[in-house]
Structure 1
């Protein structure tokens, strides 16, 4: 059932795209930095992409849940929208309730039509009924910024649209050419999307123009989706709908590598954070961890809840997207590529209103922060209920500020030791998380020497906000779906 919903979402999103007429640390960005001055374009040979992992994981809000609800209610994609009044409510709610805790951004998502009505170069400038510049201004007025869901490999404009800084190359010349392009499935059509082939002349300039366009709008976060479809034209999750999981031509590793290199270079040039979504992560994320700031490590949130957090296809890691169907398995498996100054793992959106207990809500927030991931709030002002307090735990959010990245005691999705996480803060303190994914209480124990700590440490529970004395080991009983997160200091 969930995969059917995901297929429908892809249809909604893609149809919106194909009906387009051309018609914190972190970046160090603050809203008052949006300037009318011309952007200085650093030459390629001066852009250093060897050390791009200087960002902390973002804390932000996404329109995802609103869009998901519209899709579930059968609203046609061309009628989906988030109007000005709803943007005002979301921005005000964010500014009042989450900005004081470090959340500094709102972000668009798919579903709602992504339009280019006034941009002469074919880039998106309108999201549903709202121009992006107007949403940016509304966010800026409240001390917030806007992130955008878009992909520089999607062609939004008409074929005759000229590409900047080229000798009259047009968007049409970036399309697939059967006479020259070698693809995985030459007899297939790309489902829903019209792609820019990165090996074509003009692709580099088109991608660079994409990031310059968003920088000029004051946008410094881009969420790029459906990357697996571009790389090899295959999506394991779509097997049952198209018979074999083939979703397009598949432009191959060389083309995908070139596309990500261009994306990384231009994003670095303009100081834009890149979030890579739906990647295969082949060869231990060889390309994604080199070129992206953040990568998705789990299937779509969808209906959310404990199923998406821990239970969906639990204990399985698959080849290709989606590698893991639940957050917990994803964070365990992909902890092999994370760490300070490394790529950020993205566990997708959090919908606290879909969880059943306070313990479950503490667990989903805790694992994201223990793994070094973002907190992406998808609950809305009218669905959040009394759950704000889980997003506002300053002792837990201190991990994000510190750019903390933890690891499981054992990187095996089927071993209970993978439910014990640990890591070290920049000041030398350790943080340890004991989780319980099961439906009955479990005992968890840890000798501090197992994680390199000598002697006793002061123990503080970060959810109870209580000091618990000094010890050199912990033996705790963790209830069903619960967690216990402690900070150990000298």
Structure 2
């Protein structure tokens, strides 16, 4: 079995291709490396030269990238076989093209993508030439065969230029005053993750000319797709020590005029999501899906499960007018090689479909089984994918997750995922989807209608790692609420999301300490209530990579358990609301360094190693941050070295919402207890105990900022400490869109009888103009003395038949915030 270098993210056979003296230039990353030493350049006839820099086959405006692409990629089978060259030969690629034509093409699959190691040298202009060993009749014959099957063909490249091409000082095609010795950044810098090539200096226009010359040549060949690998920030490097954004922009410009799909890889940094969307048609959001376990399997369930938190992070950045979140190959076509159960294969297919991720198969297409073909060709599931509406979760804090997407026709796509370890009945609350009323439900995998349901429906016995997929169609008179980030809302002008302009729903524990002084009792001493301990087993912590869970160690761990990761690159991630957080773990000689990211930024590298002479450190705070802006933040920790990395617990520091964290109730002298709230009183949402709400006006009363718990309620509590949850409302789904530009607008087109705008008021807000079907119907003042959430801003009923358009335009004030729009269906 081939070994896997976990630091290089590639099997060793692939690295060997990149450095072998005989095959220099056909490796994973040397997409245009120097030719073999025995031939300084390949004959010019091996690679057709571009005759003009103009586009040869441009796609009509809006067509390229309008939908997630569907097809096949060679890379998974290159890894699976342990010998990449056997999977990109002319015969093999032609066989895959023919199999796709026969089995999948009628369902929409059309791309045949040839991954790493396809080229064999360079021409006299430093441009890559196809391997004559892999393609004895020329790559053009293979391209023509693929096109003859009505399909499209893809190739592979990376940033930078190979040392051999740089040192050869070759002329650049179409740029007579340029040469390859002039376009490398000085002093020389690394261009890619594997340190194969040199970084290009795009301050010199000759660097763009070099990229153009290759892209135009690809256009002449008839290439339709380019996978651009080792893109940074991403590819395991987020500190800007490597930065390929200039390469991305240059290739984007060159490929766009040739009508070539541009796909970025791998595990791109979400902080630059807008940049990737500006320049590319798709981008990988996570590490390779392959398990690198030889021919045992293509992938594993863990590699599928780790995509759920990535999908939850990235869904907003994808769409028909932006590009697509790439989850890597969908390896579900053959149960004997996939490494997944039948239920897991269907779950993976469902996730790719509802996330609008490119659906490209990694299996040997000549060996698809009947179930794999059934999964890959279900027309209703494919229609969900091609509709291009990425779904998002109701919550990721549970193993039984509901994901949904609002469709332009008012229907809702709903996917249920059981990520737990037992079968489960899964209930869907229509209110969680933003729907009030009844609706018809259709099962898309079974392709049958299930009937009408009022308020909710339940999917029985969703299997372990299983899924269900539905379309929910509201009945007449139902109300649909759309959040500010829903794809159905259209924004004009300069808008941003959150950035401290949002208010997040939050709660604080209030401890009631009950005792009886007449019986000799004394008042307990409760601790602080604004620090919340999150155990390592909490379902809201997202683990990626290979993690284990150890319980009952007897070493003093919080709740006597820890999670541990062994492979470098293993990570945990937790999104919290608060002003600070502590990472509490173990220190030991078996452990090493870890990178700490806060809100996507590398903020620290901590060392959890402890000298053996000092034994073991238990419940140690190795990273701590305070004084964050109160709101939503994400902590991500990535293992860098050592045998293990552990997580014991996270301590989240929340902003105080009430003036005290505890009150005392003495049964001998019963009295009401009063606390004061530190937000606007109108923002108080509820007070509850163990999930059961107390009754306002009976169990407690609110007068201005004073909340009084009645003695009659307090007397029902047991002796000792009882925790109550004081909860405050936030913006809908804890987010807003906002703009500072007068004239900026947001618009919704719908069919319904009534429409309502719900949003915040604040001291920095002013007037907003409301237009309905093109007419100004009201100007609303959103200024208020305090920051308020979820207020009814505008409402209009009695609308006639047909489509209606609601438009909100900022008229004054520092900021306009948009939160939610809702309408009543006709």
TM-score range, shorter chain: 0.7 to 0.9
Q: Distance in 1 between matches of 2:231 and 2:424?
A: 39
Q: Secondary structure at the match of 1:421?
A: strand
Pairing 1:219-238 to 2, within 5 Å after superposition: 219-228=223-232, 235=236
Q: Distance in 1 between matches of 2:409 and 2:17?
A: 44
Indicate whether 1:425 and 2:413 are aligned: no
- TM-superposed deviation, 1:457: 1.9
Q: Distance in 1 between matches of 2:185 and 2:320?
A: 39
Is the contact made by 1:351 and 1:379 (CA closer than 8 Å) also made in structure 2? Answer: yes
- TM-superposed deviation, 1:209: 1.9
- TM-superposed deviation, 1:330: 1.8
| Bigger Cα displacement from structure 2, 205-214 vs 12-21 | 12-21
Q: Distance in 2 between matches of 1:359 and 1:279?
A: 26
Is the contact made by 1:125 and 1:132 (CA closer than 8 Å) also made in structure 2? Answer: no
- TM-superposed deviation, 1:367: 0.4
Structure-2 change in CA distance of 1:465 and 1:20 (3 Å): farther
- Alignment match, 1:168: 177
Indicate whether 1:65 and 2:76 are aligned: yes
Is the contact made by 1:261 and 1:291 (CA closer than 8 Å) also made in structure 2? Answer: yes
Q: Secondary structure at the match of 1:460?
A: strand
- Alignment match, 1:26: none
Structure-2 change in CA distance of 1:5 and 1:305 (3 Å): farther
Is the contact made by 1:62 and 1:106 (CA closer than 8 Å) also made in structure 2? Answer: yes
- TM-superposed deviation, 1:197: 3.3
Indicate whether 1:483 and 2:467 are aligned: yes
Pairing 1:48-447 to 2, within 5 Å after superposition: 54-71=65-82, 75=83, 80=86, 82-110=88-116, 112-116=117-121, 119-127=123-131, 129-130=134-135, 131-151=138-158, 153-155=160-162, 157=165, 159-178=168-187, 191-228=195-232, 235=236, 250-252=241-243, 256-278=244-266, 280-281=268-269, 283-303=271-291, 304-310=299-305, 326-352=306-332, 353-386=337-370, 387-410=372-395, 412=396, 414-416=397-399, 419-447=401-429
Q: Distance in 2 between matches of 1:190 and 1:434?
A: 39
Gaps of 5+ in 1: 24-35, 237-244, 311-325
Q: Distance in 1 between matches of 2:402 and 2:272?
A: 23
Q: Distance in 2 between matches of 1:408 and 1:59?
A: 24
Structure-2 change in CA distance of 1:356 and 1:8 (3 Å): closer
Q: Residues 37-63 of structure 1, C-alpha deviation per residue, up to 9 Å, x if partnerless?
A: 976737xxxx999x8985211001111
Is the contact made by 1:146 and 1:219 (CA closer than 8 Å) also made in structure 2? Answer: yes
Q: Secondary structure at the match of 1:470?
A: strand
Is the contact made by 1:154 and 1:196 (CA closer than 8 Å) also made in structure 2? Answer: yes
Q: Distance in 2 between matches of 1:207 and 1:66?
A: 29
Structure-2 change in CA distance of 1:371 and 1:357 (3 Å): same
RMSD: 3.4
Q: Secondary structure at the match of 1:227?
A: coil
Is the contact made by 1:108 and 1:148 (CA closer than 8 Å) also made in structure 2? Answer: yes
| Bigger Cα displacement from structure 2, 347-356 vs 51-60 | 51-60
State the structure with bigger RCO (CA 8 A, min sep 6), 1 or 2. Answer: 1
Q: Secondary structure at the match of 2:360?
A: strand
- TM-superposed deviation, 1:461: 0.7
Q: Distance in 1 between matches of 2:278 and 2:89?
A: 38
Structure-2 change in CA distance of 1:154 and 1:170 (3 Å): same
Q: Distance in 2 between matches of 1:224 and 1:93?
A: 26
Structure-2 change in CA distance of 1:133 and 1:335 (3 Å): same
Q: Distance in 1 between matches of 2:203 and 2:242?
A: 10
Q: Distance in 1 between matches of 2:193 and 2:465?
A: 44
- Alignment match, 1:242: none
1 or 2, which has the higher helix percentage? 1
Q: Distance in 1 between matches of 2:357 and 2:420?
A: 23
TM-score by length of 1: 0.77
Q: Secondary structure at the match of 1:138?
A: helix
- Alignment match, 2:452: 470
Q: Distance in 2 between matches of 1:384 and 1:265?
A: 38
Gaps of 5+ in 2: 20-26, 43-48, 292-298, 475-826
Q: Distance in 2 between matches of 1:388 and 1:91?
A: 16
- TM-superposed deviation, 1:83: 2.7
Q: Secondary structure at the match of 2:435?
A: coil
Q: Distance in 2 between matches of 1:451 and 1:140?
A: 43
Q: Distance in 1 between matches of 2:98 and 2:412?
A: 36
Q: Secondary structure at the match of 1:270?
A: coil
- Alignment match, 1:8: 11
Q: How many residues align?
A: 427
- TM-superposed deviation, 1:375: 0.8
Is the contact made by 2:389 and 2:407 (CA closer than 8 Å) also made in structure 1? Answer: yes
